[in-house]
A = this chain, B = another copy of it.
């Protein structure tokens, strides 16, 4: 088989061939191999569930692909909720005529990413639609986690510190540059990565209040939502926010604001000030957190304020419209 045909979504023989010839080759968990429509999971006390559909364009980009992204995204959503990611479902909508070789690359990437994150893919689904009714492939992942620590904007207090776990904007810039032809040669790759090995150790920090991965809408959106939900304010300092020079340069060129660009391998972490050093130490001991930085603090008064490098104040708001749709 070279290309996906309508019959691959029929539930009949061609579907079976696709499952046995391709998906099961990469997805090794016995739960999935039972091929039941629903999957038994060993029980635990308190579980978390999250879902995301991925429609990123292009599906292959520097630093990742839609498969890696779809696992990392769900793993990260579970992790920042204070849970250890355990199980994941994967559901495909595929366009007729989609190359099997591309699908194999994606499935392999899903498998690798899940393995590296220690999550099991336990159930799945495939639908095929006609040409022109999809953009190659869309993927939904839904995840289940074992809740270890309840985190919430409601736990945040004035004086808490706000940490970001590394350079922001890489994913957004990488996607943007891979869509268009630019004169610029760049080394920027998407930061797409599962963050559970970085962040789960923080569950033992007593002063940990809240975490969120700044994906669609970027760092600014996470902070605005944190402010709205907590009823408190956030003040961040421009010169402390880690942004690569190259990203800053390309943002200037294309008219993007790095604060609103998507990240797929970063977290915003809010902790009690007295646990800030310990938190930074844990984060910096991990390769994905070595550029972690305290970028600001929680304040009494609602709203998010950016203190610019020249000492000005700028209020951050929610975006009206995404400058770069379909980044995840």
Which residues from chain A sit less than 8 Å from chain B, CB to CB? 5-7, 9-14, 16, 35-55, 77-78, 80-81, 83, 87, 89-93, 122-125, 127-130, 132-135, 138, 140, 142-145, 147, 150, 152, 212-213, 215-217, 221, 229, 318-322, 325-326
Partner of A52, one of B43, B78, B91: B91
Which chain B residue shows the least CB distance to A12? Answer: B319
- A19 CB to nearest chain B CB (Å): 12
Partner of A53, one of B11, B77, B140, B147: B140
**Docked CA distance A275–B175 (Å):** 60
Partner of A145, one of B38, B45, B128, B320: B38
**B residues in contact with A140, CB < 8 Å:** 51, 53, 91, 125, 140, 142
Secondary structure dominating the interface of A: mixed
Which chain B residue shows the least CB distance to A322? Answer: B10
Which chain B residue shows the least CB distance to A328? Answer: B127
- A208 CB to nearest chain B CB (Å): 15
Which chain B residue shows the least CB distance to A41? Answer: B47
- A213 CB to nearest chain B CB (Å): 8
Assess the B43–A45 pair: CB atoms within 8 A: yes
Assess the B320–A14 pair: CB atoms within 8 A: yes
Tell whether A91 pairs with B6 under 8 Å between CB atoms, given A36-B81, A325-B128.
no
**B residues in contact with A10, CB < 8 Å:** 216-217, 319, 321-322, 325
| Copies of this chain held together in the complex | 2
Assess the B12–A318 pair: CB atoms within 8 A: yes
**Docked CA distance A50–B140 (Å):** 12
Partner of A51, one of B36, B41, B123, B321: B123
**B residues in contact with A318, CB < 8 Å:** 12-13, 16
Interface centre among A53, A93, A124 (most CB of B within 10 A): A53
Known: A11-B215, A37-B213, A38-B78. 4 other contacts (CB 8 A): A10-B216, A11-B216, A40-B48, A144-B144
Which chain B residue shows the least CB distance to A35? Answer: B229
Which chain B residue shows the least CB distance to A46? Answer: B43
Tell whether A37 pairs with B80 under 8 Å between CB atoms, given A12-B217, A322-B10.
yes
Which chain B residue shows the least CB distance to A217? Answer: B11
- A256 CB to nearest chain B CB (Å): 14
**Docked CA distance A256–B15 (Å):** 20
**Docked CA distance A116–B6 (Å):** 34
**Docked CA distance A320–B14 (Å):** 6
**Docked CA distance A221–B77 (Å):** 37
Assess the A38–B83 pair: CB atoms within 8 A: yes
Tell whether A38 pairs with B50 under 8 Å between CB atoms, given A93-B93, A128-B325, A133-B135.
yes
**Docked CA distance A11–B327 (Å):** 11
**B residues in contact with A80, CB < 8 Å:** 37-38
Which 4 pairs across A and B sit closest by C-beta, in order of nearness? A11-B216, A10-B322, A12-B319, A38-B81
- A217 CB to nearest chain B CB (Å): 4
Assess the A325–B38 pair: CB atoms within 8 A: no
